Each structure stands twice: as C-alpha cells, then as structure tokens.
Amino acid sequence: MKGKDFLSISDMADEDITSFMAGAVKLKAQGLPALCDGKTLAILFEKPSLRTRVSFEVAMRQLGGEAIYISPAEVGLGERESVPDVARVLSRYVDIITARTFSHTTVEVLADYASVPVINALSDREHPCQALADFLTIYEKKSKLAGLTLAFIGDGNNIAYSLLLAAALAGMNFHIASPAGYNLKKEMLEVARGYAARSSSKILLTEEPGRAVSGADIVYTDVWASMGQEAESEVRARAFAGYQVDKKLLSQAKADAIFMHDLPAHRGEEVTDDVIDGPQSVVFDQAENRMHAQKALLAKLLGG
Ligand code: CP
Ligand code: NVA
C-alpha cells in the first residue's frame, strides 16, 4: 500500500495485483488463521449495506479479531460530531476503521485524522473492496488477470471507476458502454490511462453496448441509480433504457464469458433474470469473495 489506508485502488499502484489475488486464494483455503488476534475493526456506515457489513464482520471474526458496527443514526458523522473528531476518538479504541460515506472527501478526512488505517467501504467515487473481490473471482475463474477484457455496461460510477483502475494496473483491457453524459469523468480516465500505458492494456469508451462486449471475457453491470441518486431514478431509467444486459447482449461476448454484478441488483432494469440466474453468472461467488478479499486486506493493513 502507498500509505496506511486503502481508500482507492490507486493505493495499490505499487503492488502486483495478481500476486495479491494469489495470496487471497491461499488465505481462502486456510479458513481461520488468527492473523488479527486481539484486533478490533470499527464499521462506520452512512448508507445501508448487506454484503460489505456482514463480510467485514465475519472476516474479522475468522481472523481472530472483533468488529463493531456503528450505524448512520448512531454516529451522525459531521452532524453530531465533526469528522476529524470522530476519527481521533475511534483511533483511541480500535485498530482499524472501515467507512461507507456519501462523499469521498469524508473518507479522506477520516483517514487524515485517524492514526489507524482507514478502508473505503464505498464512497461516491470508488468501491475498492468490491473491485478486490471481483478480481479475486476473475482470477479464480480465468486463472489470470492480464490480457483479459472486462466490459462494463452502464453508469460510469464508483464501481466502474474502481474496476477501471484495477484493470489498468493488472494489465486487463477495460471497455465501458454508457449513455452520453454518464461516462467516467475525464480526470478519472487520466489516472487510469497512465496505469494502462505501464501495463500495456487498453481502455475503450463507447455509447454502444454491443461494441463494448465484443471479445469480452467478463461482462459487468451495476445499478443505474446509486445510493444517494434516488431522485434521479426516473431520468436515469430513460437514459439507460438501451443498456440492459440481456441474453442477446451477453451472447455477443466470448462464448466462455462470465457475467458479474456487485449486487444489490435491480432485476429487470440493468440485468434480466435469465442472465443473472444463468450459467454464466458468478454473482454469488463475487459476493462470497468480498469476505476472502477483505481478509487478505485486513491482514495486510494490520501487518499480518
Ligand atoms: N456490493 C455491495 O457493496 O453490497 P452492499 O451495499 O450490500 O454492502
Ligand atoms: N453503485 C452502487 C453500488 C452499490 C454496492 C451504489 O453506490 O449505490
């Protein structure tokens, strides 16, 4: 890691992502190694969660440590108490913090003021823990990362950005199809283009889903309206109408392509039931791997 924290996939820019995945596979096979014995994780969330919360709690327990969940109403981040003060207080009790925030700035301020490591458990900018689990899943299914092609269909959101960075670092080609106005932001692409030049991978931006999935080993989608964008749901549903991953679109990818989604899914919107429940779907392996990838991450950040 670049520093004590994991706020972005960019924090892994100096690491070999493929080696990290190989380590995570070994840890997954070990089950319950006491790598975080006596350590406590604070889970500080401003938004709802099923996978991230439960996978972090169970991961910490399996590593011999403990986790404390602090709900949005309890802490009132930046309302009941300033973000820097919350960071300073929590650092006196726990060994590591994971935070899910609306604004990415909040998780950055937490990290600045905490003396313990801070993990981004999803912000409006990135979801790096999801990308780690996804790349672990891809590594298990395809036995490599470099040279593959991942096609993301939908919003240029937090999931898309973390996947783009991970792909560019790992030497995986990244295609994204989004309607006009919803693609990844220019400054996000600049960072990724630097990584892609280093790893000799390609980035393709298009408005045509068929073009994005052509030759893809992985077809990935996410919700059209993320948490915090509920008021835009109807406008977005209209903009993304031609961006559903259905059987016809999936059939235009490689014959052995896998289908991925970070979940929760809005079935019938970004994906059809026959795709998400179909033979190419690996969505529940991805969900399980949240726990295994985070175990590797926790052990790493806590010096295990
Ligand atoms: N994929 C994911 O982060 O799920 P949750 O929002 O349920 O944690
Ligand atoms: N893009 C989604 C991901 C949920 C895990 C959101 O931010 O709501």
Coil, strand or helix: which one is 63?
coil
298 neighbors 96 (Cβ within 8 angstroms): yes
Please give the single-letter amino acid code of residue 50.
Answer: L
Q: Comparing 9-127+290-301 with 130-286, is the CATH topology the same?
A: yes
Q: Tens digit of pLDDT for each residue in 157-188?
A: 999 999 999 999 999 999 999 999 999 999 99
Read off the pLDDT of each residue in 193-201 and give the average, rounded to a whole number. 97
The fold of the 130-286 domain, in CATH, is Rossmann fold (3.40.50)
pLDDT given at position 230: 96
Q: Tens digit of pLDDT for each residue in 204-245?
A: 999 999 999 999 999 999 999 999 999 999 999 999 999 999
Grade residue 137 by pLDDT with cuts at 50, 70 and 90: very high
- Check whether 291 has a pLDDT greater than 80: yes
What is the value of pTM for the model shown?
0.98
Read off the pLDDT of each residue in 105-120 and give the average, rounded to a whole number. 98
Domains of the chain: which residue ranges? 9-127+290-301, 130-286
| Per-residue buried b or exposed e for 45-55, using 16+ beta carbons within 10 Å of the residue's own CB | bbbebebbbbb
The domain 9-127+290-301 belongs to what CATH superfamily?
Aspartate/ornithine carbamoyltransferase (3.40.50.1370)
Coil, strand or helix: which one is 96?
strand
- Check whether 49 has a pLDDT greater than 70: yes
CA 140 to ligand 1 centroid distance, Å: 21
Q: Determine the residue of 101, 124, 127 to mutate for testing ligand 2's pocket, defined as the one with the most ligand atoms within 8 A of the Cβ atom.
A: 127
pLDDT given at position 304: 58
Rg (CA), the chain: 19
pLDDT given at position 73: 85
- Check whether 75 has a pLDDT greater than 80: no
Q: Determine the residue of 262, 266, 270, 285 to mutate for testing ligand 1's pocket, defined as the one with the most ligand atoms within 8 A of the Cβ atom.
A: 262
- Check whether 248 has a pLDDT greater than 80: yes
**For residue 158, which atom of ligand 2 is closest to its CA?**
1
The backbone torsions φ and ψ at residue 113, rounded to the nearest 5 degrees and listed phi first, read -95, -15
Choose between 285 and 72: higher pLDDT: 285
